[in-house]
Structure 1
Amino acid sequence: MPRTDQQLAELREESRTRILQGAMELFARYGYTKTSVRMIADHTGIAQGLMYRYFASKEALLRAVLDSFMQQVAQILAEAGTASDPFEHLAQIIRLSFELIQQQPDSWQLFYAIRVQPDVVAGLHEEINILSVALMQQLEIPFRRASIANAHNEAAILFAIIDGVCQQYVINRTIYPLQAVTTAVLAKYSRATLTGATSQ
């Protein structure tokens, strides 16, 4: 019995997801330069020729992998932004960010590798910088909603904390005390701490 259009579309999406996941794993493990399309094909069990039906080149595949990761980060910010209370908004950003690093450590590892190799793909470093600015602007929102002084600076500090924690987890994921660090960061950005600091 021939497959329906919906079944074919689902199969295509499944194959595309497998390619993205496999590419992300290998890029993170071996680096973009040392990973070939053939390696990704062997890793995913998808024919190399078929892969080119989804992605025109290895560069296009890398961009798609990073775009998928960026979308997850954007989703975190959007989900956190649904909180009516600005302090809960901050707490959600922190919790969800650290949950994502646990769920997608290879994605973060690849993201950091690309950040320190700006010439790997032309224009990619600029795109990452644009994303960083956009993330900073989103982080400012709960501080402004809570009427915290120097919201821009506070957002920059929180961005640096989240970024640093994620980098440390990627490097030492088997021993890094992520849960304890999460608790400490949440306490630092709690209503009691922030309002106490601003009232002095």
Structure 2
Amino acid sequence: MEADLVVQTIKKSARELFRHYGYNKTSVNQLAKHANIAKATFYKHFASKELILHAVLMDYIRENVQDILDKNVREKDLSTFLANTILRVSRVTYTVCNEFVGWEFIRESANAQEYLKTLSEDLEFLLLSTFIQNETIAQTVSEERLTFLIKCSKNIVFSFAFTAVTDADVRKNFISFQKEMLPYLVEATLL
């Protein structure tokens, strides 16, 4: 039980420090000090700073995905539900990367890009398994087609996140994605 409390304390400290200083500017020493634990205790639970980042981001994304799904349950039809869910999850993913890591660091660091690939794959798995657990979706859409929708959407969103220079560019890209691309991806998924 105590180990769970330590892990939760480390995660809470990491969330706060990553949001305040960014991932790159937060050290393991700062994380341990903020969590009021020894550095060795940190490493007992997380082998690296990257692993705590991953745990924090996935917890945050999981909570938000569930919240998004709970709110979207009342959508009029399956295509609207899928489009709105993909769009909202994409926004959450972009926001969490921006808040906790920082896109400048991600664009410039090979390690961050490799990490982002892992995060992207875990997000894909999370979304796919969540969609498959929905009885209506599971009966209507094949896993292969859901994978197509998630992979395409994810790749589009990450590509404009890497190429956008300003927040205004990101907003324009999300609007373009929502109006010009996502409806066709959903339509192709439901064929």
TM bracket (short chain): 0.5 to 0.7
Structure 2 residue 65 is the aligned partner of structure 1 residue 77: yes
Question: Residue type matched to 1:71 in 2?
Answer: D
Equivalent pair of 2:22/2:101 in contact (CA under 8 Å): no
Q: Residue by residue, what CA displacement relative to the aligned partner does 1:119-168 show, whole Å, maximum 9, x if unpaired?
A: xxxxxx6x9856643433435678936945x6623532433322442354
Percent identity for Structure 1 against Structure 2:
8
Q: Aligned partners of 1:71, 1:48: CA distance in 2, in Å? A: 21
Q: Aligned partners of 2:81, 2:111: CA distance in 1, in Å? A: 29
Q: Aligned partners of 1:140, 1:108: CA distance in 2, in Å? A: 32
Q: Aligned partners of 1:70, 1:16: CA distance in 2, in Å? A: 11
Equivalent pair of 1:80/1:92 in contact (CA under 8 Å): yes
Change beyond 3 A, Cα 1:74–1:15: closer
Structure 2 residue 87 is the aligned partner of structure 1 residue 94: yes
Aligned residue in 1 for 2:44: 56
TM-score (norm 2): 0.56
Q: Aligned partners of 2:154, 2:28: CA distance in 1, in Å? A: 33
Flag the structure with larger Rg.
1
Aligned residue in 2 for 1:18: 13
Equivalent pair of 1:28/1:107 in contact (CA under 8 Å): yes
Structure 2 residue 127 is the aligned partner of structure 1 residue 135: yes
Change beyond 3 A, Cα 1:173–1:72: farther
Q: Aligned partners of 2:146, 2:10: CA distance in 1, in Å? A: 42
Q: CA deviation at 1:56?
A: 2.8
Change beyond 3 A, Cα 1:25–1:60: farther
Equivalent pair of 1:94/1:186 in contact (CA under 8 Å): yes
Give the superposed CA RMSD.
4.8
TM-score (norm 1): 0.55
Q: Aligned partners of 2:80, 2:16: CA distance in 1, in Å? A: 32
Q: CA deviation at 1:69?
A: 0.8
Tell me how many residue pairs correspond in the alignment.
172
Q: Aligned partners of 2:165, 2:16: CA distance in 1, in Å? A: 20
Aligned residue in 2 for 1:180: 172
Change beyond 3 A, Cα 1:50–1:136: same
Q: CA deviation at 1:78?
A: 1.6
User: 5+ unaligned residues in a row in structure 2: which ranges?
Assistant: none
Change beyond 3 A, Cα 1:13–1:68: closer
Equivalent pair of 2:86/2:153 in contact (CA under 8 Å): no
Q: Aligned partners of 1:190, 1:146: CA distance in 2, in Å? A: 21
Q: Provide the secondary structure at the position in 2 that maps to 1:84.
A: coil
Aligned residue in 2 for 1:144: 137
